[in-house]
Structure formats: C-alpha cells, structure tokens
C-alpha cells in the first residue's frame, strides 16, 4: 500500500523516468498536502541531472494574485521558464512569436499550446532526458471553461520530445469530467484514498520533526511521544490541520505556554466528527486567542479583524507597508495585528515584500461561512480597501506623478520609486472593490469630487504600469457604479 509522502515522491520520480504515459494527475481533497508534495518534487527533479524540469506553475487564490488563477497565463509561463533553461528552445520559441504570429500568449489554451510548446519542443527531440512540466492546484483557476480547454489541450498533446505533465488538483466535478481522469491514458493517484493509518504515521513524523527543530533555550523536551501521537490522530488526513495546529503551538516563547497550547489544541479538537471539524476547530482556537478581550482592547480587535478581512479581499499580493498605507495606519500597528494571526497568515519579515496571504484557502471559507465565535463579513475588507484606494489616489495623484522628464519620452523600463506598491494597487483595483460593495452610493462623492478631477493623473500611472488597455472597462464600471 502506498503510504508516506516519501513513497509518493519516489513514485513520481519512477514514473518520470520509466513510464510511457505523459500525464500524472495527483488528486486530493483540500488540505491533504498536494502543494507541499509538488514543491518537494520540484526540488528533487531540479537536482536530478537526468531530468529537465522545464517549468512550473502554482495556481492559487490565496496569494490574491489574479495572474495565479488565470488559465491563460499557465502555458506562456511554462514556455518562458523553459526558454531560460534551454537556449535551443528559446530560439525556436522566438521564431514562433514573431510579430506575424498574432499574439499567441493572449489566445485560449487550445491555440497557445502549438506555438508556445508543441512546435518549439521539436528541438529537444534528441535529448534523452524527460522534459517535465508541473502545474499545481488546477482547481484554483478562476475560469472553468478555459481550464477545460487547457486540460483537453494537454491530454491531446503530442511531441517528439519526452514531455511529461504532472498535474495536481482537488477532484472537482469539472476536472473529473476532463480527459485527464482517463486511467487508461494517464497515471492517477488520489491522496485522500491512501490508507488512513499510513497518513497518520506521516503526519506524526512531520509534527515530531517540526517540534524538534524548535527547541526552547535552556529547557528540556516540552512535549512527549504520546503528545505527538495524539495530535497526529486528529486531522483526518489533513496536513493543513497539522501545519496550522503546529504553528499555533509554536507561536509562544515559554515551555509553560507551549504545553498549555498543546493541551488546549488536543482538548479542543478531540470531539470533531465531520471532515472539516478538526481544521475548523484549530482556526476557531487561533481566532479566539487573537480576540481575547482580556488582552486586546476592542478598538485593537476591530483593527485586527479589518486587517484580516483586507488580506482575504485583496486582489493582488500586498506588503505590510502597502497595506498600512491603504488603511492609513502606522506600519507598527498593522504588524501588531498580524502578530496575533501568525498561525493562519504568512507574514514576511521584510516589510516591503508583497506576500501577505492566508496559509490556506480553507481559512477564508471558514471565516466567512462556518466560523462560530468570530465571523467577519465579506464586505468589511472590500469596504476598507475601496476607501483606502480612493483616498490614497486623492493624496498621491498629481501632475507628472511618474516624474517623467518629457512627455515625448517612452515610459521607463523600471518602475519609478515614486509609484509605490500601494499606489499601484489603488490605481489597478479601486473600482473592483467599490463596485463589489452592497451600498456603493457611500463612495459616489469620493469618486465624483476627488477621483474625477485626477482622471488624467490616474491614466498616467496606468500608462507607466502598462495597463492602459484596462482603463476603458474600469471607467465604464465606475460610471455604472455611480449611476446605480
């Protein structure tokens, strides 16, 4: 019986080297560890001289990056990555993308795959190494119809090179109904069907190793083997539960606090019966601690909830500094809010690094739909970001905002320092947050009195960002929003 994650990785490598099938589909329910397996696999293949890891694409709706959920970005990204690794492929790809090609990168997947991969790959026909592409979390793509086109294009892909596609996703209906679910043609492994005892052993090993890597200075072992075994039996096969529970427990500085959190986690989750129960319970535990009224002032608690709602509502990755600017708060105040959420939110130590995100998509689903003690309305983040975008543009947009020396010169190839990430976000996303509010009339005055007089300055920023083509649709949406 296939069991541990190591077994899964070795099965992948064996398949890449020896199996004639060109597609391997790793399916699994949310939280079963598909992405972490994909990352580990890529690291293994990258160090293998007998394999060419040609390109990877990790789809995601948790990093708040529209491009990561856009099906049409997948094949162009894979082609660009392979061009970096193979000069011969790069020459063939450039020939396919000559001006007369009609912009293959912007076409549907069925029209992309020929010029971007199939024809240029003929140059690697004599290479004995398998050429491997990894696409993770296909279910996170935003357009099901275009995803179906992509899967069909991959399933019918042929090449004189030894091309392999490794795909991962949840077993969603639209993916189950696609050609990649054909067992006669493709290799398929369903993580959620692996023997539960084997998964529990694997989770136990992960918990023990992670605890061992985070000792307390001047202290002996603060946990026992029995603690690890007990914690490992709770997740119902969900690695995301284990990682979230471990992050919650380790987010403390003393042996007393850690053992207290460990026991609290064990007692809180032991009665969960449904599939999402253990994960919901650990989310509830983290939020309850973060919302402890004995330790957090109501005003600070409201700010923490707003920060969390904004991270979930953001349409592209934000940094701590950018979020603070959009919310018109000091960076230290936002960091204080984020410190309470470290078990469920990824926060970089670099304040300008745009990677604020929740650790798993299931957290947003829980917070908006299933939370018991602390539930946040979806509109809270939309409203805060709508106001923040409009007010930031009012303050920052002005004549020659990009500091160009002449209107006759082309836009700079590097983003000017004067256009910060927060201003970029505001200019690109303001109308989407505004139009999504249940009562948009509240911001009509802001749009008419403050944004409208700065329209040309906004267009200048859109030009520098290379996004002028989006402006007409955004203005039409703004007009419809104001008129309604």
Number of neighbours of residue 436 by Cβ within 10 angstroms: 17
Q: Which alpha helices (DSSP H) does 192-340 contain, by range?
A: 196-212, 225-232, 239-250, 255-269, 277-290, 298-313, 320-326, 331-339
> Is residue 383 included in any domain, yes or no?
no
Query: What residues have CB less than 8 Å from 343, skipping those under 6 apart?
Result: 244, 247, 248, 251, 286
Domain annotation covers residue 381: no
Same domain as 268, residue 249: yes
In a domain, 382, yes or no: no
Q: Are residues 102 and 222 in the same domain?
A: no
Q: Are residues 78 and 17 in the same domain?
A: yes
Burial class (CB in 10 A: 0-12, 13-18, 19+), 98: exposed
**CATH number of the domain residue 36 falls in:** 3.40.50.300
End-of-domain residue from the set 163, 193, 223: 193
Tell if the pTM clears 0.85, that is, is over it: no
Identify the pLDDT of residue 391: 94
Q: Is 125 part of a structural domain of the chain?
A: yes
- pLDDT surpassing 90 at residue 370: no
Q: What is the dihedral of CA 14, 19, 21, 26, to 10 degrees?
A: -20
Rounded (to 5) percent helix, strand, coil in the chain:
60, 5, 35
Mean pLDDT of 275-297: 69
What is the rounded CA–CA span in Å between residue 119 and residue 117? 6
Q: Are residues 189 and 202 both part of a single domain?
A: no
CA pair distance 286, 339, nearest whole angstrom: 12
CATH value at residue 363: 1.10.10
Kindly state the average pLDDT of the residues 395-411.
Answer: 81
Residue 273 pLDDT > 60, yes or no? no
Do 227 and 177 share a domain, yes or no?
no
* Percentage, residues of the chain above pLDDT 90: 41
Mean pLDDT of the 387-395 span: 95
Domain boundary among 140, 174, 193: 193
Instruction: Identify whether residues 170 and 183 lie together within a single domain.
Output: yes
Do residues 231 and 358 share a domain? no
Tokens matching residue 415: 């983003």
Q: Which of 177-186, 319-328, 402-411, 413-422 has the highest mean pLDDT?
A: 319-328
Which two tokens mark 62?
A: 């948790």
Q: Quick count: other Cβ atoms within 10 Å of Cβ 12?
A: 24
Q: Residue 400: left (phi > 0), alpha (psi -120 to 50), or beta?
A: left
CA-CA-CA-CA dihedral for 332, 333, 338, 340, to nearest 10: 110
Residue 274 pLDDT class (50, 70, 90 cuts): very low
Whether residue 112 is found in the same domain as residue 236? no
Q: In which residue are the tokens 């090449």 written?
A: 159
Domain count, the chain: 4
Query: What residues have CB less than 8 Å from 179, skipping those under 6 apart?
Result: 151, 152, 155, 156, 185
Of 114-118, 165-169, 272-276, 428-432, the one with minimum mean pLDDT is 272-276
Query: Is the domain of 421 the same as that of 465?
Result: yes
Range 290-296 contact pairs with CB under 8 angstroms and sequence separation of 24 or more: 290/340, 290/341, 291/373, 291/374, 296/340
Q: Render pLDDT for 33-64 as a digit per residue (tens, 0 to 9).
A: 888 889 989 999 998 999 999 999 999 876 56
Both 234 and 321 in one domain: the answer is no
Tell me the DSSP string of 354-403: ---EES-HHHHHIIIII-SS----HHHHHHHHHHHHHHHHHHH--TTTT-
CA 128: distance to chain centroid? 34
14 and 163 assigned to the same domain: yes
138: containing domain: 5-193
349 belongs to a structural domain: yes
Round the CA-based radius of gyration of the chain to a whole number and report it: 25
Q: pLDDT tens-digit profile of 426-443?
A: 999 999 999 878 777 767
Residue 3 has pLDDT above 70, yes or no: no
| Alpha carbon separation from 237 to 4, 24, 200, 279, 365 (Å, rounded) | 12, 22, 7, 11, 19
| Same domain, yes or no: 322 and 243 | no
The Cβ-side half-sphere exposure at 68, using a 13 Å CA radius, reads 15
* Domain final residue, candidates 272, 290, 308: 290
Buried-exposed string 56-68: b where 16+ CB fall within 10 A, e elsewhere: bbbbbbbbbbeeb
């Amino acid at each position: 019986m296939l069991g541990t994650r190591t077994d899964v990785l070795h099965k992948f490598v064996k398949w890449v080297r020896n199996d004639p099938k060109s597609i391997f589909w790793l399916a699994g329910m949310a939280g079963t560890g598909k992405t972490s397996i994909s990352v580990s696999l890529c690291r293994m293949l990258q160090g293998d001289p007998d394999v060419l890891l040609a390109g990877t694409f990790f789809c995601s709706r948790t990093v708040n990056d529209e491009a990561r959920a856009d099906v049409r970005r997948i094949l162009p990204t894979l082609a660009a990555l392979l061009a970096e690794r193979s000069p011969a492929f790069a020459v063939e790809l450039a020939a396919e993308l000559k001006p007369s090609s009609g912009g293959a990168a912007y076409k549907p997947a069925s029209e992309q795959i020929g010029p971007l991969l199939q024809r240029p790959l003929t140059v690697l026909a004599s290479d004995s190494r398998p050429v491997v592409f990894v696409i993770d979390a296909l279910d996170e793509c935003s357009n099901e119809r275009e995803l179906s086109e992509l899967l069909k294009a991959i399933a019918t892909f042929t090449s004189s090179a030894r091309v392999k596609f490794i795909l991962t996703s949840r077993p969603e209906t639209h993916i189950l109904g696609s050609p990649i679910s054909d067992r006669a043609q493709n290799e398929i492994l369903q993580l959620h069907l692996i023997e539960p005892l084997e998964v529990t052993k694997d989770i136990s090993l992960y918990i023990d190793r992670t605890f061992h890597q985070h000792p307390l200075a001047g202290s002996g072992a603060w946990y026992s083997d029995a603690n690890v075994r007990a914690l490992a039996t709770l997740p119902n096969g969900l690695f995301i539960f284990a990682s979230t529970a471990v992050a919650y427990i380790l987010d403390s500085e003393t042996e007393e606090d850690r053992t207290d959190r460990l026991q609290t986690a064990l007692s809180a989750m032991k009665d969960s019966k449904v599939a999402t129960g253990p994960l919901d319970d650990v989310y509830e535990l983290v939020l309850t601690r973060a919302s402890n009224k004995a330790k957090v002032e109501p005003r600070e608690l409201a700010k923490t909830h707003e920060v969390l709602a904004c991270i979930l509502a953001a349409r592209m990755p934000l940094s701590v500094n950018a979020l603070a600017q959009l919310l018109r708060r000091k960076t230290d105040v936002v960091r204080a809010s984020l410190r309470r959420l470290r078990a469920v939110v990824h926060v970089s130590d670099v304040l300008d690094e745009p990677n604020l995100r929740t650790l798993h998509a299931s957290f947003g689903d829980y917070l908006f739909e299933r939370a018991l003690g602390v539930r946040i309305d979806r509109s809270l983040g939309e409203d805060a970001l709508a106001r923040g975008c409009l007010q930031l543009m009012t303050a920052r947009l002005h004549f020659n905002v990009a500091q160009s020396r002449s209107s006759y010169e082309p836009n700079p190839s590097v983003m000017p320092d004067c256009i910060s990430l927060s201003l970029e976000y505001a200019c690109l996303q303001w109308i989407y947050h505004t139009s999504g509010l249940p009562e948009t009339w509240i911001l009509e005055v802001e749009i008419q009195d403050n944004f409208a007089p700065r329209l040309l300055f906004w267009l200048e920023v859109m030009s520098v960002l290379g996004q002028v083509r989006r402006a007409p649709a955004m203005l039409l949406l703004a007009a419809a929003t104001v008129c309604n």
